[in-house]
Structure formats: C-alpha cells, structure tokens
Homo-oligomer: A and B are copies of this chain.
C-alpha cells in the first residue's frame, strides 16, 4: 500500500463510508490492514465555528486531517497577545508538530463549520507495525508540512506590506484551486485582525491595503469573500519591485545549469 498527498483524504472519506470488502477491492489493500486502519481513523467528525480542536500546552494525543472547512492555529506570544501562526484548509493535517511525543505549541480553532478526521497518536503508533507504508506516509506528510510552513515564514519575512498581502491572496487562491473551490472568488472566514497577525502587520494596515487594492481594481472585497480581478498585477506586487531582475538573477545562478 502506498498513499499519497492527494488521495489520502479521499481514502479516509471512502474509508468511513464503505465496507471493508469494497474498499479492499477498490484500493487494492489487504483486509487486515484496513481493519487496523479503521481502528485509528475516526470521522468525519463535524466541528462548529469557534470550536477548539486542541489547546496550546495540551498533550499531542491526536492529529487531525481537515475534511471540510478552515482552521486557525494561534499562540500567545512573548507579549502575551494572541498571534496567528497558521491557517489550515481542506486536506491539511493538523498537529503534526506533536507527533514526536511533545505537547501542542498552539491552539487550534475552527473558522467556520466543517469536519475533520481524527487520528489517535498512540493508536497510530501501534498501527504502524501492522500497516506497511503507513509510517512512510507520515514522513511524507511531515516533509510537506515543513515546506508549507516555510512558505509562511518567507511571507512574514517580506518587508513590503503590499507584497505580503498580495502573496497571501495568491496563496489562498492556489489553495482554493487544489481544494476544488473557486480560485478567483475566495471565501475566507478570517477577521482583519487575524489576517494582520498572520502577515505580521497591523489591523489598520490590512484594512487600508485591501481597500487600496479594491480602489485600484485589483480585487473586490465583500464580507468573508475576496475576488481577484487582476491576478497579473497582484503577482507583480507579490514579487517585489522588479520581477525581471529576479528572473535574470535566477537564470544566472550556478545551480540552474
């Protein structure tokens, strides 16, 4: 058995809806392994808006896969105020940082009604012995998680506020696309305050920028929705002052050849 990023969620869905026999046929997996997995994966469990999946400091006894909806990870920073560390959408796995046996470093809250699959960590740990390829799949998940977070780190590292916001919009669009949602008319259940925190900006700056973008016909802003109208211009903003120089430098950098 070998899972991969795209089909794992679909597999979970089928997993809980179908009989073992049908699944074994459909995915070419041995019946005993499936039986074992069914003991580990629970769901899809419905979650309400504002529901907390786990809190900062709690034991990492479960990880979650987002079946539907969106979630925010937040933590109290050194100053004591909440700051948004991460946003999760369909297909993302939550709580991987606690797989090493440590506690959760952040609090996870649902931004809208949705549903998740829940995987108990202790049960997962024993199941890996019975299900070949499962642990390997976990490694793949974590490596992708590292890359996903890396992207956010580069985002908050940007100096220009407009670049940050533009990059953020493009990221949301990309995510919507892979989730099968509309990549142009983006639904986003996030307050300005949360966006600002996620981007490392002040609330007022986000508000000002969104409205400036709207004035310049780059986007349309509505409640809980942002529509991209001029993607090229947004990309240009996201890339910094001159993308051409970047491209030129990239082409001349040694590893490229």
Contacts and interface: CB of A to CB of B under 8 A. Distances in A.
A143 B254 contact: no
Interface in A26-57: 55-57
Interface residues of A, number: 62
A143 B99 contact: yes
A6 interface: no
Contacts of A247: 80
Given A80-B249, A143-B97, A250-B80, A55 B157 contact: no
A188 interface: no
Contact of A100 (B97, B144, B242): B144
A80 B245 CA distance: 7
A58 to B, nearest CB: 7
Contacts of A97: 143, 146-147, 150
A215 interface: no
A248 interface: yes
Contacts of A153: 85, 149, 152-153, 156
Most B CB within 10 A of own CB, among A57, A136, A159: A136
Contacts of A243: 78
A156 B246 CA distance: 22
A77 to B, nearest CB: 7
A96 B143 contact: yes
Contact of A255 (B107, B144, B241): B107
Given A76-B246, A143-B96, A250-B80, A255 B56 contact: yes
A102 B144 CA distance: 9
Given A147-B102, A159-B200, A200-B159, A142 B142 contact: yes
A23 interface: no
Given A78-B240, A249-B76, A135 B143 contact: no
Interface string A226-251: 00000000000011111101111110
A25 interface: no
A33 to B, nearest CB: 16
B58 A143 contact: no
A149 B147 contact: no
6 contacts: A58-B255, A78-B239, A80-B250, A146-B149, A149-B153, A157-B200
Pairs of residues from A and B, 5 with the lowest C-beta to C-beta distance, nearest first: A100-B143, A80-B246, A80-B249, A55-B255, A79-B240
